[in-house]
Amino acid sequence: MNVSVVLFTSDLRLHDQPALRAALEGGRHVVPLFVRDRAVERSGFAVPNRLAFLADCLRDLDAGLRERGGRLIVRSGDVVEEVCGVAAETDADEVHLAADVSAYAHRREEGLRRALEAAGRRLFVHDTVTAAVAPGTVAPAASGHFAVFTPYYRQWSRQPLREPLDAPRAVRVPDGVGSEELPVRSAVTGVSEGLAEGGERAARERLTGWLRAGVAAYEDRHDDLAGDATSRLSPHLHFGALSPVEAVHRARRAGGPGGEAFVRQLAWRDFHRQVLAARPEAASADYRTKHDRWRTERTAGDDIEAWREGRTGYPIVDAAMRQLRHEGWMHNRGRLLTASFLAKTLYVDWRVGARHFLDLLVDGDVANNQLNWQWMAGTGTDTRPNRVLNPVTQGRRHDPDGVYVRRWVPELSGVSGPAVHEPWKLRGLDRAALDYPDPIVELSEGLARFKRARGQE
């Protein structure tokens, strides 16, 4: 009996799953394996929102495998030891894995390769499982990766994409392979109340619904905070319950300016992945240092706490921070303006903000989170690193009637219209009765501090 192991990581699906399809080739038996990796748990990356969503994904993956005659095998421990152990138990001669970009993923891959080869087994690593266009596929002549999005996107768009693969019809798992119980969402404590449901089924339904009813208006409405008119596919893409290749194909077929604008956003995901693949240290070190002497937990503790709690006195910032806590997700416009507020207006180290986002975001992703934070902090790939978003202007532009603010900041529910963005200017209402804080910083002072720090005066 020929046996392959498929190690599922950020690719928790059956449709368009090249690693699984390759493992099944030639009628092989397959061990579909997920390892609850102790190293990830110890790193602090395994936070309640993502653990709960992961539990949904694993249950759904198991259900899908069972419909095809298989099941998911779950083990906990050191990933290399567990994979080698399962391969030895089942006498598997091949292990299949999706390529990934973080420093940790590189170490995992190397560790697996060494240990498997020493035991006479082969590791196959598959590109275009977790990215539509794999890192390194397009690169400028002078260096290994693109540092500017627009030329990257031009080349990205010209790349031929492989056709999405169907889900396999049958999966035969060797008898007698032991598995732990699948984790359950209800056993995870500290989960955000409004956390979305995970799993491939939910992911595919969302994509289909989005392409039918949402994407057409995406170009015009993607920044409309109250309208919530983006796809909300990010958690599904993060866990790989949805294939990025399939999402691009289907969005292109949907066509129109909305489809193209949406595909462009998907390219941003690949852009950050190719930056991180080339510069793994950018997860924690400035990509392009500006020699900032940031304020930190020690010097700006109260400001940081107010930002985390959504009590800065800037309603649009507070609304977005509260959405993050309540849903484990935040609208992109909210992410941009809250990050600008922390890193630039408060001049706090971007790593403090990135950590808080990673503690809560269900789509929290090293490449997307750290590099978007660096973008907003002006230490990353933004070609205008010193731009500062004004939270009042942003609020008036992207939440003109104040609907988003009132949704998340109930203290301001009695304030109608755009006045909600500047409650300190209210006339005729007892401001003290609002129980809403005064701004923790004057915008002009924050701007002056930032400009001084960046030598812009």
Contact residues: ligand FAD, CB under 6 A: 222, 230-234, 237-238, 262, 265-266, 268-269, 272, 332, 335-336, 339, 357, 361, 363-365, 368-369, 372-373, 376
For helices 350-360 and 297-309, angle between their N-to-C axes, nearest 10 degrees: 40
Helix (H), strand (E), coil (C) string for 104-165: HHHHHHHHHHHHHHHCCCEEEEECCCCCCCCCCCCCCCCCCCCCCHHHHHHHHHHCCCCCCC
| Strand arrangement of the beta sheet that strand 122-126 belongs to | 73-77, 29-37, 3-8, 94-98, 122-126
Both structure tokens of 254: 């949907």
Residue 179 CB, nearest approach to ligand FAD (Å): 30
DSSP character for 296? -
Between CA 125 and CA 241 the distance in angstroms is: 19
Nearer residue to ligand FAD within complex by CB, 314 or 436: 314
53 and 235 in contact (C-beta within 8 Å)? yes
Residue 120 CB, nearest approach to ligand FAD (Å): 39
Nearer residue to ligand FAD within complex by CB, 79 or 203: 203
Nearer residue to ligand FAD within complex by CB, 73 or 267: 267
Residues β-bridged to residue 123: 95
Residue with tokens 């498997």: 116
CA-closest candidate to residue 307, choices 259, 265, 360: 360
DSSP character for 227? T
Nearer residue to ligand FAD within complex by CB, 137 or 332: 332
Residue 357 CB, nearest approach to ligand FAD (Å): 6
Residue 370 CB, nearest approach to ligand FAD (Å): 8
Nearer residue to ligand FAD within complex by CB, 268 or 436: 268
Nearer residue to ligand FAD within complex by CB, 83 or 233: 233
Residue 439 CB, nearest approach to ligand FAD (Å): 21
Nearer residue to ligand FAD within complex by CB, 171 or 337: 337
Residue 402 CB, nearest approach to ligand FAD (Å): 21
Q: How far is CA 225 from the centre of its chain?
A: 19
Between CA 165 and CA 344 the distance in angstroms is: 45
Signed CA dihedral, 363, 366, 372, 373: sign only: positive
Residue 53 CB, nearest approach to ligand FAD (Å): 12
Residue 266 CB, nearest approach to ligand FAD (Å): 5
Q: Which residues contact 369 (CB under 8 A, 6 or more apart)?
A: 354, 357, 358, 361
